Amino acid sequence: MRHTLPIAPQFYVTAPQPCPYLAGRMERKLFTALQGDYAEKLNDTLSKQGFRRSQNVLYRPSCSECSACLSARVRVADFAASKSQRRADRRNRDLRRDATSPWATEDQYALFRSYLDSRHADGGMADMDIFEFAAMIEETPVRSRVIEYTAPLPEGGRELAAVCLTDVLDDGLSMVYSFFDPARERDSLGTYVILDHIRIAREAGLPYVYLGYWVPGSPKMGYKANFAALEIFKDGKWQDIGDASDHSAATHPLSTDPIAEQVARISLPDSRPIRG
């Protein structure tokens, strides 16, 4: 028998819209669809080139005069927690981790709404209803898990404290989206969830944990630079972040190559015919 993989994916560009990270700027994204048996291999390959998944789409910022958004990942083997991160780990040792299939629940949505209303009330997801939330969790053509963290209640039982939608790549874990109980902000739950993903990746023998985009100059994204062994995807390759202050969010009309050149440099999975 002779089988062939699908034709090369088509790439598109979104219309400019207000940037959620840096005030006064417009963002534009380069994206392609994820579908069929090819989806998992495409997600693995493009994640290594700075792309992120949202439902059945892979995207990467491609703003006309700004290149501030940098995909970030932790090298698991080289990571060592700081003192404050070790304290966050200890503060949350009462949490229990449960990994499930990507299926949305009312408890997850209630926690999600509480998180958004407290921390991102003016963000792009602020109006997301339960059906859109379910689509975010469940519409995945790749290997994904919902990782729930529950805390014990004084009267018995457990309550949901944090949730992370996580993709399992061939070289690591990609934290697609996470949220947590804002009433436990002092417990540094966001930090703890990243630490626990590093722990999961280490146990599974996976070399990286992908954290999404780090944006110099953005208070929302600054925390990612606090993790040791952090790499960023810059100038077409992964490199150690070094001193975070060395990376600028300054705009420049030549900071982004034309879309056609960007697409031409994207490496795609091997699409040679498969015999079987």
Same domain, 156 and 190: yes
pLDDT digits (tens, 9 = 90+) for 37-58: 889 999 999 999 999 999 999 9
What pTM was estimated for this model as a whole? 0.91
pLDDT in tens, 241-262: 999 988 888 777 666 788 889 9
CA-CA distance, 178 to 51, in Å (whole number)? 18
pLDDT range class, residue 123, cuts 50, 70, 90: low
Q: Please check whether residues 34 and 161 belong to one and the same domain.
A: no
> What pLDDT is recorded for position 203?
97
Give the lowest-confidence range in 206-210, 230-234, 267-271: 267-271
Supply the pLDDT for residue 20.
85
182 and 83 together in one domain: yes
3-state secondary structure of 63: coil
- My answer on whether 159 and 255 are in the same domain is no
Of 40, 199, 189, 210, the closest CA to residue 111 belongs to 189
**Among residues 63, 54, 82, which one has the least CA distance to residue 250?**
63
SS3 53: strand
pLDDT at 189: 96
- Which range of residues forms the domain containing residue 140? 72-243
Task: Tell me the two tokens of residue 111.
Answer: 């926690």
Looking at the chain, the whole-number percentage of residues with pLDDT higher than 70 is 92
Same domain? For 135 and 178 the reply is: yes
Q: Long-range contacts made by residues 37-44, C-beta under 8 angstroms, separation at least 24? A: 37/5, 38/5, 38/6, 38/9, 38/269, 39/141, 39/142, 40/141, 40/142, 40/143, 41/269, 42/9, 42/268, 42/269, 43/142, 43/167, 43/169, 44/169, 44/170, 44/171, 44/269
Q: What percent of the chain has pLDDT over 90?
A: 71
For residues 28 and 89, membership in a common domain is answered with: no
